[in-house]
Amino acid sequence: MESLENKIFSVSEFIYLLNIGLKSSKAKIIGEITEMKVSSLGHVYFTLKDEKDGAVLSCIIWKSRYNLYGIKLETGMKIMASGYPEIYAPLGKLSFIAETIEPAGEGELKKQYDELKKRLSEEGLFVDERKRSVPKYSQKIGVITSKHGAVLADFLNNIGRFGFKIKMIDSRVEGQEAVGDLLASLKTFKKQDIDVLVIIRGGGSLESLMPFNNETIIREVVNFPVPVIAGVGHHKDEPLITFAADVSVSTPTAAANYLNQSWEEALLLLERYERNILGRYEDIFENYKMIENKLRVSLQIFQSSLSGVKIALGDYLIKTFSGFKLLLSAANEKLAQSEKIALLNNPERQLKLGYSIAMVGSKVIRNTKDIEIGEDFDLKVSDGKIISKVKQKI
C-alpha cells in the first residue's frame, strides 16, 4: 500500500482525509459563549472561550440539533458541548460541530430549568385537568429505560404476575445524549399497541436529569396517545417530565406498584365476594338443617297425632253405629205408635160406625154457612157416596 507521505493530495482531498480522522476525535468541551449568531437557515454559529487563558474555538450546532435541546444560547452563557472537530473546506477554517449542548454549572442549569418550567406552566401543560387516568387492569405496558443497571431489574422484580405484556425499548437516560434516544423511543411506542407507557430511571443530579427537562421530550409526553407514568428518581427540583406525565412516582418500584394496585384491589374484592358467598351458603345450610330438624319433629308429632286420630275415629265410628241403631229402633217404635194413632183417628174408620162426611167438591161441610140452598153436595158413607141437594137450611 502506498505511503501517505509519498502521495500527493489536492487541498480538498487532504481536508476530506483530515475530517475523517477528526470525526473520530469526539470530545466534550466547556467554555463561555463570546459571540453568537443564527443563520437564515436556523443554524447557530458561536465561539467558546476558555476562562483560564482566553483560548477560543469556533463552534456550530445545526438547526435540528439546536431545536431538539431547547436551550436558548446567549453571549456570556457558560455551556458544555459534545461533538467533533471539522475543517470547513471553502474557508479552511476549523470548527467544532456540536452534537449536544447543555448549560454548564448548577446556576445556569437552574436558571434554564426555572424559565422553561414557568413558560410551560403558563401554557397549561402541567394542569391536572389535562391529565388522563391510567386504565384499570392495564396489561400491555410499554417501558422506556436503560437495560443496564438496577432500574429495569427493580421494575421487573416488583411488577405482579397479572398477565402483563411488557415491551421494553433500551434508551440512554442520562445526559443530553439521551434526548435523541428518548425521542426516538417515544415515536416508536406511538405506533405500538400499548395501554400505558412507563418512563423510568434512577435518581441523579440536575445535570444528569437534563433529558427529562427537555421541552421537546415534554411535549411528546403531553401529546402521547396513551397515559404516561414517569418514574424518574427525583432531584430537589423535580424533572419537568414529572409535571407533564399523567402519573408521577418517585422510583421504578413505585411505578410497578402503581400498575399492580388495581389488580391487587380486584383480587381483594374477589376474595371478599368469595367469603360472602361461602358465608351465605353456610347460613343456607344451617337454616336448612334447622328446617329439616323442625320438619322431622313436626312429622313425628303428625304421625303420633294421626295414630291418635285413627284410634279416636275407630271409637267414634263404633259409638256412632251403636247410637244410630238405638236411634233407628226408637224411630221405628215412634212410627208404629203414630201409625196406630193415625188408624184410630182415620175419618173413614168412623164411617163404619154409622157416621158420614158431607163435602162440596173437596171441601168438608162443617156448618150451614159452607153451603147454599139448591147447591149439590156429596155425602160420603162407608160403602160409597150419596149425591144430594140442599132444599132448606134450619
Question: What confidence tens digit (pLDDT) does each residue in 236-254 have?
Answer: 668 999 999 999 998 899 9
DSSP string for residues in 129-168: GGPPPPPTT--EEEEEE-SSSHHHHHHHHHS-SS--EEEE
Q: Which of 24-28, 124-128, 324-328, 375-379 has the lowest mean pLDDT?
A: 324-328
Q: Of 55-69, 273-287, 374-388, give the range with the top mean pLDDT.
A: 55-69
pLDDT higher than threshold 90 for residue 181: yes
Give Cβ neighbours of residue 23 (< 8 Å, ≥ 6 apart).
Answer: 84, 86
Q: Are residues 85 and 19 in the same domain?
A: yes
153/280: higher pLDDT: 153
353/162: higher pLDDT: 162
- d(CA 220, CA 184) in angstroms, rounded, equals 11
Query: pLDDT tens digits, residue range 149-160?
Result: 789 999 999 988
Q: Are residues 83 and 150 in the same domain?
A: no
299/217: higher pLDDT: 217
- d(CA 69, CA 99) in angstroms, rounded, equals 10
360 inside domain: yes
Q: Kindly give the pairing relationship between strand 357-360 and strand 363-364.
A: antiparallel
Final residue in a domain of this structure, among 211, 233, 262: 262
Average pLDDT, the chain: 85
Q: Name the strand (E) or helix (H) holding 386.
A: strand 384-389
Q: Span 208-228, mean pLDDT?
A: 93
69 inside domain: yes
Q: How many domains does one find in the chain?
A: 3
Q: Are residues 97 and 172 in the same domain?
A: no
pLDDT higher than threshold 80 for residue 313: no
Q: Which residues pair with 36 in a beta bridge?
A: 46
Q: In which band, very low, low, confident or very high, does the pLDDT at 323 lie, cut at 50, 70 and 90?
A: low
Q: Are residues 216 and 146 in the same domain?
A: yes
pLDDT higher than threshold 90 for residue 57: yes
- Amino acid identity at 163: G
Q: Are residues 143 and 253 in the same domain?
A: yes
User: What pTM was computed for the model?
Assistant: 0.61
Final residue in a domain of this structure, among 57, 84, 104: 104
351/81: higher pLDDT: 81
Q: In which band, very low, low, confident or very high, does the pLDDT at 1 lie, cut at 50, 70 and 90?
A: very low
Q: Give Cα 203 distance to the centre of its chain.
A: 34
199 inside domain: yes
192 inside domain: yes
- d(CA 31, CA 107) in angstroms, rounded, equals 15
Q: Which domain holds residue 362?
A: 348-389
Q: Are residues 91 and 171 in the same domain?
A: no
Q: Which of 225-229, 249-253, 350-354 has the lowest mean pLDDT?
A: 350-354
301 inside domain: no
Q: Give Cα 148 distance to the centre of its chain.
A: 36
Q: Are residues 144 and 256 in the same domain?
A: yes
Note the pLDDT of residue 220.
95
206 inside domain: yes
Q: Span 93-114, mean pLDDT?
A: 87
Q: Span 15-43, mean pLDDT?
A: 92
Q: Are residues 169 and 84 in the same domain?
A: no
Q: Span 197-212, mean pLDDT?
A: 86
Note the pLDDT of residue 54.
87
Q: What's 31's domain CATH number?
A: 2.40.50.140
338 inside domain: no
Q: Are residues 145 and 252 in the same domain?
A: yes
Q: What's 177's domain CATH number?
A: 3.40.50.2300
Final residue in a domain of this structure, among 232, 262, 292: 262
369 inside domain: yes
Q: Are residues 45 and 150 in the same domain?
A: no
pLDDT higher than threshold 80 for residue 288: no
Cell of 28: 466534550
Q: Span 220-232, mean pLDDT?
A: 94
pLDDT higher than threshold 90 for residue 228: yes
Cα three-residue angle 81-62-68, rounded to 5 degrees: 75
Q: Are residues 88 and 182 in the same domain?
A: no
- d(CA 31, CA 298) in angstroms, rounded, equals 103
215/376: higher pLDDT: 215
Q: Are residues 84 and 178 in the same domain?
A: no
